[in-house]
Amino acid sequence: MAVVTLSRADRALWRATEDARRSRRNWAVSVWLGRLCLLAGLLGGWELAADRHLLDPTFTSKPSAIARAWWQLATTGSLWHHTQYTLTEFAVGFALGALLGVLAACLLTLSDLPYRVLEPYLLALYGIPKLALGPLIVLWFGVGLLPKIVLAAMMTFFLVYMNTVVGIRSTSGDMVALLRVMGATRRDLYRRLILPHALPYTLTALRLTIPIAIVGAVLGEFLGATGGLGYLIYEQVTFLAVDKMMAAIATLAAIVLAFRLLLLPLERSVNRHHKAIGGNG
Amino acid sequence: MADVSANGRGGAPRAEVVELVSVYKAFVAGGTRQAKLALEDVSLRVPRGEFWSIIGPSGCGKSTILNLIAGLSAPTDGTILYDGRAVRGVNTDVGYVTQDDNLLPWRTLQANVELALELRGVPAARRAERSRELIARVGLAGFERHYPAELSGGMRKRASIIRTLIYEAPVILMDEPFGPLDAQTRLVLQDDLLRLWERSRQTILFVTHDLVEAIALSDKVVVMSAGPGRIKHVYEVGIPRPRDVFHIHQAPGFSLIYDRLWADISGEIAMSRRAPAGEAVRTREAEG
Amino acid sequence: MAAIAHRERVLERVVDEHRRRRRHDFWTLYLTRVAVLVALLLAWQLLSGVLLDPYFFSRPSLIWHQLVLLVQSGRFTGNVLLTVEEAFLGYLLGTVAATVAAAVLGLLPRAYAIVEPFLLAVYSIPSVAIGPLLIVWLGIGIDSKVVLAAYFVFFVVFMNGVSGVRSVPRGWIDVARVMGAGRGQLVTKVVLRGAAPHFMTGLRTAVPQAVIGAIVGEFISSQRGIGFLISDASARYNTAGVFAAISVLSILVLVMAILLSGLSRLGARRAG
C64-101: per-residue pLDDT in tens? 999 998 888 888 888 999 999 999 999 999 999 998 88
How do strand B85-86 and strand B171-175 relate by DSSP bridges? unpaired
Task: Break chain B into its structural domains and give their ranges.
Answer: 1-92+203-288
In order of A116, B211, C17, C36, C79, the CA distances from C28 in angstroms are 10, 49, 16, 11, 41
Ordered by start, the domain boundaries in chain A are: 9-54, 63-272
pLDDT interval class at B274 (50, 70, 90): low
Q: Which residues of A4-22 are buried (b: 16+ CB within 10 A; e: fewer)?
A: eeeeeeeeeeeeeeeeeee
Whether pLDDT at A281 is above 60: no
The C-alpha of A188 sits at a distance from chain B's nearest C-alpha, in angstroms, of: 7
For residue B96, the cross-strand partners are B173
Give the per-residue pLDDT at C89: 94
Q: Are residues C73 and C182 in the same domain?
A: yes
CA distance C135 to A233: 11
What is d(CA B186, CA B178) in angstroms, rounded to the nearest whole number?
A: 6
Contact between residue A156 and residue A164 where contact means Cβ atoms under 8 Å apart:
no
| The pLDDT of residue C1 | 66
One domain, residues C30 and C88: no
The closest alpha carbon to C83, from C222, C184, C199, belongs to C222
Q: What is the C-alpha separation between C167 and B145, in angstroms, rounded?
A: 34
Spell out which residues of chain B touch residue A180, defining contact as CB-CB under 8 Å.
72, 90, 92
Which residues of chain B have a CB within 8 Å of the CB of A182?
Answer: 92, 95, 115-116, 119, 167
Q: What is the pLDDT of residues C80-89, one digit of tens each?
A: 999 999 999 9
Q: Which of B206, B85, C29, C199 is nearest to A121 (CA)?
A: C29
Task: Provide the β-strand partners of residue B55.
Answer: B223
Residue C232 placed within a domain: yes
Q: What angle do CA C52, C53, C59 make, to 5 degrees?
A: 70
Work out the average pLDDT over A179-193: 90
Q: What is the mean pLDDT of residues C19-39?
A: 82
Give the total number of structural domains in chain C: 2
Q: How much is the mean pLDDT over chain B?
A: 84
Residue A268 confidence (pLDDT): 82
The reply to whether C36 and C122 lie within a common domain is no
The percent of residues above 90 in pLDDT, for chain B, comes to 44
Are C239 and C130 members of one domain?
yes
Segment A117-127 shows an average pLDDT of 78
Residue A178 has pLDDT above 50, yes or no: yes
Chain B residues in contact with C9 (beta carbon < 8 A): 77
**What pLDDT band is residue B1 in, cutting at 50, 70 and 90?**
very low
More confident residue, A127 or B153: B153
Which of chain B's residues have a Cβ under 8 Å away from the Cβ of A275?
Answer: 105, 149
CA-nearest residue to B179 within chain A is A280
End-to-end CA distance of chain C: 48
- In this prediction, residue B214 carries a pLDDT of 94
Q: Are residues C102 and C215 in the same domain?
A: yes
Beta bridge partners of B52: B205, B220
**How far from chain centre, in Å, is Cα B223?**
13
pLDDT at B272: 66
> Is C52 a member of any domain?
no
> Confidence class of residue B287 from pLDDT cuts 50, 70 and 90?
very low
If you average pLDDT over residues C240-262, what whole number do you get?
88
Mean pLDDT of A25-34: 89
Give Cα separations from B167 to A161, A175, B12, B178 (angstroms).
37, 17, 27, 21
What confidence category does residue A98 fall into, taking pLDDT thresholds of 50, 70 and 90? Answer: very high
Distance from CA of B181 to the nearest CA of A (A): 6
pLDDT band for position A275 (cuts 50, 70, 90): low
Question: Does residue C23 share a domain with residue C147?
Answer: no
Contact B76 C13 (CB under 8 A): yes
- A28: buried, middle or exposed (CB in 10 Å: 19+, 13-18, 0-12)? exposed
The C-alpha atoms of residue A75 and residue A86 are separated, in whole angstroms, by 18
pLDDT (mean) for B94-102: 88
C23 and C113, same domain (yes or no) = no
Show the domain range for C133: 60-271
User: Higher pLDDT residue, C218 or B180?
Assistant: C218
Is residue B114 over pLDDT 90?
yes
Instruction: Check pLDDT > 70 for residue A276.
Output: no
Mean pLDDT in residue range A36-45: 90
Given a cut of 60, is residue C176 above it in pLDDT? Answer: yes
For chain B, percent of residues with pLDDT exceeding 70: 87
Whole-number pLDDT of residue B259: 93
Q: Which CATH number covers residue C212?
A: 1.10.3720.10
Average pLDDT over residues A172-186: 90
d(CA B110, CA B98): 19
Give A257's contacts in chain C (Cβ within 8 Å): 120-121, 124
Is B282's pLDDT higher than 60? no
| pLDDT band per the 50, 70, 90 thresholds, residue B128 | very high
Structural domain A63-272, CATH architecture: Orthogonal Bundle (1.10)
pLDDT for position B284:
30
Q: Write the CATH number of the domain with boundaries B1-92+203-288.
A: 3.40.50.300
Facing residue for B102 by CB, picked from A175, A199, A281: A175
Residue B3: the pLDDT is 39
Q: Is a pLDDT exceeding 50 seen at residue B9?
A: no
Does A14 touch chain C if contact means CB atoms closer than 8 Å? Answer: no
Taking alpha carbons only, the member of B83, B93, B105, B111 closest to residue B167 is B93
User: Residue B58: is its pLDDT beyond 70?
Assistant: yes
**Mean pLDDT, residues C51-68 taken together:** 85
* Strand locations in chain C (E): none
Q: Are B166 and B118 in contact (CB under 8 A)?
A: no
Q: Please give the interface size between A and B, counted as residue pairs whose CB atoms are below 8 Å apart.
A: 80
Higher pLDDT, B136 or B287: B136
Q: What is the pLDDT of residue B102?
A: 87
Segment (H or E) for B264: helix B254-274
Q: Do B96 and A188 touch (CB under 8 A)?
A: no
pLDDT tens profile A239-250:
888 889 999 999
pLDDT band per the 50, 70, 90 thresholds, residue A4: low
**One domain, residues C149 and C22:** no
Tell if the CB–CB gap between A132 and C121 is shorter than 8 Å: no
- Over range B246-270, report the average pLDDT: 88
On the 0-12 / 13-18 / 19+ scale of CB atoms within 10 A, B19 is buried
Mean pLDDT of C46-65: 84
Q: 3-class SS at C203? A: helix
